[in-house]
Structure 1
Amino acid sequence: MPTDPGTSSTPVDQPPSPRIITRSNHPISRKNIDREALKVLYRLRDAGHVAYLVGGGVRDLYLNKTPKDFDISTDAKPGQLRKIFKNSRLIGRRFRLVQVFFHGGKIIEVSTFRCRSEFDLNGVNSSKENILAANNTYGTPSDDAFRRDLTINGLFYDINDRSIIDYTGGVNDLEQGIIRLIGEPGRRVQRDPARMMRVIRHGARNNFAIEPGTWQAIIEHREKLRLCPVSRIRDELMKDLRSSASRAWAQLAMDSGIFYVLFPFYKAVHGMPESAQNRKLLLAIQAVVDRLHAGGMKLPDQLLFSLLLLPWIIAEEDLLHKNYKGPEFHRFLRKIRNVLDEVLGPMSIKRAHKESIALHLVTLPQFIRFARENSWPKWLKRKSYYRECDLFFRIFTEASGGRKIQEHIMAESARQLADKARHKPSGKRRYKKRGTPGPAFAAKKSESIFGLKK
């Protein structure tokens, strides 16, 4: 399929001829491909099927990055895959995938080539009912390539001759550093509005420019993100906040207006004359988060949300001057909880996480005062929320131009957060109530009835 290099990659009716990049003309080496993924590819080949390494794995390998996942597409149907791989299971409702399991908990996902949908590529109804309509038909490799969101995600790696198969112009866009939607951009983002978030994500992570037609489609259709399920938007957002490119993501999201669709309460604050300082703080906070993530620290989701909301709360509630104690502190805490219920309601955040977010925000003025006086009360360090609130304070301090978080503190905080994550309550029902004895179990069966003492 010929593609105009200055326009979006739009397929035609006839099956296109792909560009084949031979092994000598691309940087991908088999030694960088996961061993289990190679096993799956070779097993499918030996069974007489066509199978390729696809999507983000090929993209990351081409960019000399370590892929998070190695996904495979094949002409084998799900039932055939289950017969070939006994260590597998079927998942998915809209489209059936096969997960192949290996030792150590490793999973390789295998999908059957999917059909190119006429509804998806040649027309769209903007009603909510037609967003992401089900389509479980199978197709050819070219069909499967054009169903994907971005040209750089439409590449296939052929294990037989170690070549890259490019139907969409993805290699050229990788070389030029361009993020481009496959197909007509306006129609593709109306078909699946979450594609707009993926455009922003890959532009931020790879420091790529967004193709003008794709950018314009985002500007025109960004409000349609509200049509997507809340859980899907939240999951897409968390991928961005957990990455090491959240600062670049925040900048692109604000420039495109997507940020204000996700967080409409920020719009009024960033519309004020003094908004430049608020934006600067937001980006500085995300830059610190990126540094911590790049250093191997995994920040909990509630802390990521607290940091994202902090500049808004500072402007909206004059937070840094609310250093309350006693009853006033608790009244302010209840107020912030109610504010969070209102602004985070559409995100469907867990109640426990909102409680933690409120504590992070309300205790910040106290931590600032204790640091200024260099006096840290012992009662504070005994609080269950101390570790997260202390890290929250340190991130804010660094983002505000203060002391940089030192390596040993990063290591200790990472260890403490990991320990806390491992010791989360199981959620299982407790037998024992406070102030009452639990059931007494007998040491020998002969002395018991159903294991309990007589």
Structure 2
Amino acid sequence: MFTKKSEQKQIPAADPFKIPRESHNLSRKDIDENALKVLYRLHNAGFRALLVGGGVRDLLLGLKPKDFDITTNATPEEVKALFRNCRLIGRRFRLAHILFGREVIEVATFRGHHDDDNGQDAQKVKQSKAGMLLRDNVYGSLEEDAERRDFTVNALYYDIADFAIYDFCNGMKDLQERRLTLIGDPEVRYREDPVRMIRAIRFSAKLDLTISEECAEPIRRLAPLLQDIPAARHFDEVIKLLLSGQGLVTYRLLKEYKLLQVLFPILFKDGEDDKATQLIEQALTDTDRRIAQGKHLTPAYIYAIILWYPLEQRAQEMAFEGGLDYYDAFLLAMNEVLSIQVKTIAIPKRFTAAVRDIWVLQLRLPRFGGKRAQRVYQHIKFRAAFDFLSLRAKVEQSSELAELTAWWQEYQNHNKLPDHSYAGNASKATEVKPADKKPYKKRRYPNKKHKKTETTGVD
């Protein structure tokens, strides 16, 4: 049962956990307008409302947050009653999402300790045998909520009532010392939610924080626990890892802590491939640079690169063992490699379809007699496939791939095609003319007069 703000015990001004407005640099002008609307409506309704997590952490670091999360002593149902644009989600932990067009402000109720007997029989915590939380709808106080959060730097609260920051877990000190520390026993916290190991890597790379020794030690031992996490959740986490602008650093940390081996087991089936590592690291270097320039990137491109050498190896094995044409073996290998990967990371079909296109175009790019080059060039995934080809030429140091890349680069620059198949001299070129098409004529149908029939009322 929650009490209104006016009925709550007030925190004394000398509270050691309270950092007054004049002692920190977080300002309301830096907070999202819609997040402020939610904070003020909750506050005006008599509830306590605080900005929490990454929004507070990033603002204190001088960064621009992507999300603004709010925590309150109002129940999800009470939040929904205040906002018509609210929907309740989640089974593991009930949350309120306030919708402002495409923007979502997430509101969570203060979480409590698992062993509290607070009369919420229908919402008691549920854990697996390994200790992973399956359901966690136990509510509590602000102090308990802080203790239930993952990292100290994510347990900082900005109170809209007095513009103070509340720090119950020494998060400000860790932020100043650039240290990432878990709240509580690291092994217990990782077992509760193994994805915290991935988050530790992500925050370390993104914020340039050093993972504390006690926080880092259990990760390699507990990495296999990630196999119990739904593959769909892994997809969202991996996108944040590799397409956040710190992909290369993140990739190396994942491998160092044995998490990459769980997420992409097919990469390590026959031991680590140095050529695959070079290709992936070069791709992530290029990707980080493109993200810094504000350019868009599709996850399909990264997955196509990560899984390329396992695909090539499997296609060669199938061609040799089954006596198949390489192209047929390649198509079969694509299905097998993707079916293995989606068991650990549920890549949506719209991305697996794009991955297939990029792969198949690697076989079509060297074959463009007649009008084939034009058809390849007009393919929706041509640019991604060409970038992939250029990357392969650079990493493999192949003169053949380098010549092929140069040919396609000239084709794009001048929209000209050599008058013979790709074999060397790209200087002899003739202009490519679009295929002749007959103008589309709208088909006209004669008007048909339908005779009226009398209805009898009988079916």
When normalised by structure 2's length, the TM-score is: 0.73
Structure-1 separation of matches of 2:49 and 2:259: 37
Asked if the contact 2:71/2:108 (under 8 Å) is kept, the reply is yes
Paired residues, what number? 378
Task: Say which structure is richer in helix.
Answer: 1
Question: Are 1:390 and 2:386 counterparts?
Answer: yes
Structure-1 separation of matches of 2:237 and 2:158: 26
Structure-2 separation of matches of 1:302 and 1:142: 42
Question: Are 1:112 and 2:112 counterparts?
Answer: no
| Structure 1 residue 91, shift from structure 2 partner | 2.2
**Secondary structure in 2 matching 1:377:** helix
Structure-2 separation of matches of 1:56 and 1:240: 16
**Residue in structure 1 matched with residue 332 of structure 2 by the alignment:** 334
Structure-1 separation of matches of 2:208 and 2:372: 42
Instruction: Provide, for residues 89-113 of structure 1, a one-character-per-residue CA deviation record: whole Å limited to 9, x for no partner.
Output: 32222332222233x4333221211
Asked if the contact 1:270/1:278 (under 8 Å) is kept, the reply is no
| Structure 1 residue 148, shift from structure 2 partner | 1.1
Structure-1 separation of matches of 2:241 and 2:31: 25
Asked if the contact 2:312/2:330 (under 8 Å) is kept, the reply is no
| Structure 1 residue 88, shift from structure 2 partner | 2.2
Counterpart selection for 1:127 from 122, 126, 129: 129
| Structure 1 residue 56, shift from structure 2 partner | 0.9
Asked if the contact 2:311/2:337 (under 8 Å) is kept, the reply is no
Structure-1 separation of matches of 2:207 and 2:102: 29
Residues 82, 345 of structure 1: alpha-carbon distance in 2 compared, 3 angstrom cutoff: closer
**Secondary structure in 2 matching 1:236:** helix
Asked if the contact 2:93/2:137 (under 8 Å) is kept, the reply is yes
**Residue in structure 1 matched with residue 347 of structure 2 by the alignment:** 349
Structure-2 separation of matches of 1:343 and 1:75: 42
**Secondary structure in 1 matching 2:47:** coil
**Residue in structure 2 matched with residue 55 of structure 1 by the alignment:** 53
**Secondary structure in 2 matching 1:393:** helix
Structure-2 separation of matches of 1:125 and 1:158: 32
Counterparts of residues 263-278 of structure 1 (less than 5 Å): 263-268=264-269, 270-271=271-272, 275-276=273-274, 278=276
**Secondary structure in 1 matching 2:239:** helix
Gaps of 5+ in 2: 1-14, 117-125, 318-323, 413-444, 453-459
Asked if the contact 1:285/1:399 (under 8 Å) is kept, the reply is no
Asked if the contact 2:19/2:165 (under 8 Å) is kept, the reply is yes
Structure-1 separation of matches of 2:325 and 2:382: 20
Residues 246, 316 of structure 1: alpha-carbon distance in 2 compared, 3 angstrom cutoff: farther
Question: Are 1:27 and 2:25 counterparts?
Answer: yes
Residues 230, 343 of structure 1: alpha-carbon distance in 2 compared, 3 angstrom cutoff: closer
**Residue in structure 2 matched with residue 185 of structure 1 by the alignment:** 186
Counterpart selection for 2:43 from 42, 45, 56: 45
Residues 285, 20 of structure 1: alpha-carbon distance in 2 compared, 3 angstrom cutoff: same
**Secondary structure in 1 matching 2:218:** helix
Structure-1 separation of matches of 2:255 and 2:292: 23
Structure-2 separation of matches of 1:355 and 1:335: 14
Asked if the contact 1:230/1:346 (under 8 Å) is kept, the reply is yes
Counterparts of residues 211-226 of structure 1 (less than 5 Å): 211-226=212-227
Counterparts of residues 40-439 of structure 1 (less than 5 Å): 40-102=38-100, 104-118=101-115, 127-128=129-130, 130-268=131-269, 270-271=271-272, 275-276=273-274, 278-310=276-308, 312-313=310-311, 328-351=326-349, 353-364=351-362, 367=365, 377-396=373-392
Asked if the contact 2:49/2:72 (under 8 Å) is kept, the reply is yes
| Structure 1 residue 249, shift from structure 2 partner | 0.9
Structure-1 separation of matches of 2:134 and 2:327: 49
Asked if the contact 1:148/1:154 (under 8 Å) is kept, the reply is yes
Structure-2 separation of matches of 1:399 and 1:109: 43
Amino acid at match of 1:108: I
Bigger CA drift: 192-201 or 223-232?
223-232
Identity across the alignment (%): 33
**Secondary structure in 1 matching 2:113:** coil
**Residue in structure 2 matched with residue 417 of structure 1 by the alignment:** none
**Higher RCO by CA contacts (8 Å cutoff, separation 6 or greater):** 1
